[in-house]
Amino acid sequence: MILGITGTLGAGKGEVVSRLVRRGFRHYSVRDFLVKEIECRDLPVSRDTMVHVGNDLRRRYGPGYLALALYRQAQREGGDAVIESVRTPGEVGALERADGFYLIAVDAEPRTRYERVIKRGSSTDGVSFDAFCADEEREMHATDPAKQNIAAVIAQADFHIRNDGTREELFAEVDRVMKEIAARERRVKT
């Protein structure tokens, strides 16, 4: 089974992934993939650089390139996998062709997400609330298939999780989604 995780900035995608990893899934991160590419290009690691390099790779190799590269790695390594940060409709399209693929979207209120981003203290997260909102708006809608269009990806999700509460509530939502996926998988096999 291959799961894709999408969602808004700071919504808790990483927490969803951590729950799935505890359930035996292998984790494949678009962010980590991009950081390696950025380092190979000897560029500074920042949110802007990640967006630029991601868009460049999708322009060169196709709109589904990032997710497809991670999917191929997951296939080689075998087992259940979760691909974190699916951000373009082209990536969804590339993954949809895989048997057992499901897309999960995660969202929360903007102020809650901003506070989480500041608290995690990543080198790409030290921004004002206005900059946070501007970054998100830039990544939410695009007509260029090489650019991020998170709103369109969220609309394509098979499952939606709200993460405005506690970590335990989030994990309960992940467990609920996994039960629904298991039920769908059983129906497909019968």
Provide the pLDDT for residue 43. 97
Tens-digit pLDDT profile for residues 98-144: 888 999 999 999 999 999 988 887 655 678 899 889 988 988 998 99
Q: Alpha carbon of 87 to those of 54, 166, 168: distances in Å?
A: 10, 25, 26
In sequence order, the 6+-apart residues with CB closer than 8 A to the CB of 88 are 58, 63, 64, 145, 146, 147, 148, 149, 153
Tens-digit pLDDT profile for residues 134-180: 988 988 998 998 889 999 999 999 999 999 999 999 999 999 999 99
Provide the pLDDT for residue 186. 87
Domains with residue ranges and CATH for the chain: 2-189 (3.40.50.300)
Distance CA 148, CA 140 (A): 7
Residue with tokens 């080198």: 123
Mean pLDDT of 51-56: 94
* pTM, rounded to two decimals: 0.91
* pLDDT-derived band at 188, boundaries 50, 70, 90: confident
Mean pLDDT of 12-27: 96
* Element holding 104 (H helix, E strand): strand 101-107
